[in-house]
Amino acid sequence: MVLRRVLGSLGAAMALPAALVSCVAAAPPVAAQPCPDIEVIFARGTGAEPGLGFVGDAFVDALRSKVGGRSVGAYAVNYPAGWNFDSSAPAGAADATGRVQWMADNCPNTKLVLGGMSQGAGVIDLITVDARPLGRFTPNPLPPRLADHVAAVAVFGNPLRDVPGGGPLPALSGTFGSRTIDMCALDDIFCTKGLSLGAHFSYVENGMVNQAADFVAGRV
């Protein structure tokens, strides 16, 4: 029940005004490096140390192994990934949007991939789900100018699946639906009605990270 209430808090976070999501300035470049052929913009899960998180690291490694000689950069969404979802998730959405904008302006030929794990999947939901009421969610999707730079979306343990009116991300995004894979492990407590916390951390071992990388490689 506690975990269900936590999940409900994430839904409340996504209901915040769009202005809060868009108030953060565009993300600056991580380093002055040549533009990669592909960049993965990934939001880690709740409580993970700053970086891509273990699922994000595995996903980027798997994708690199599937795209031949093309270069794959990675950007870790800069956000708290904390338990105060009311501030954490919108901050992540703002930073992810800023990074997409920066890449579109400075590396227009780079194919972008959006990804997230757990709360990080919720961050990606905020900028990809259609702009219409969805339970307590108020998405603020990327504008067309930026969305055109996103080749694929991959999320894991997505809490949007287990909220009223929710479901798999591809079904809730007219813009990104065909470009999106939404992985949910059997009995994952955060994306199903199941009760397995272990399933929520199984995406590398159960093959779903590799499956998602295959999907994305086919679209970049």
178 an active-site residue?
A: no
- The answer as to whether 190 is a domain residue is yes
Instruction: Output the domain CATH number for residue 84.
Output: 3.40.50.1820
Residue 197 in any domain: the answer is yes
The pair of three-digit structure tokens given for residue 33, joined into one six-digit string: 């490096």
State the DSSP code for 162.
G
Task: Decide if 59 is inside a domain.
Answer: yes
**36 falls within a domain:** no
Name the active-site residue from 125, 182, 188, 202.
Answer: 188
Q: pLDDT per residue over 57-85, tens digit each?
A: 999 999 999 999 999 999 999 999 999 88
pTM comes to 0.85
In a domain, 29, yes or no: no
Q: Which domain holds residue 145?
A: 2-23+49-217
Percent of the chain at pLDDT exceeding 70: 83
Residue 72 within a domain: yes
Surface-to-core class of residue 52, CB atoms within 10 Å of its CB (0-12 exposed, 13-18 middle, 19+ buried)? buried
Residue 57 known to be catalytic: no
Q: What pLDDT score was predicted for residue 137?
A: 59
155-183, pLDDT tens digit by residue?
999 998 888 778 899 999 999 999 999 99
Q: Is 187 one of the annotated active-site residues of the chain?
A: no
Q: Please, are residues 57 and 38 in contact by the beta-carbon 8 Å criterion?
A: no
Mean pLDDT taken over the chain: 86
As for how many domains the chain has, the answer is 1
Q: Over the stretch 190-220, which tens digit does the pLDDT of each residue have?
A: 999 899 999 999 999 999 999 999 999 999 9
**Sheet strand arrangement including 180-183:** 72-76, 38-43, 111-117, 150-156, 180-183
- Residue 87 is assigned to a structural domain of this protein: yes
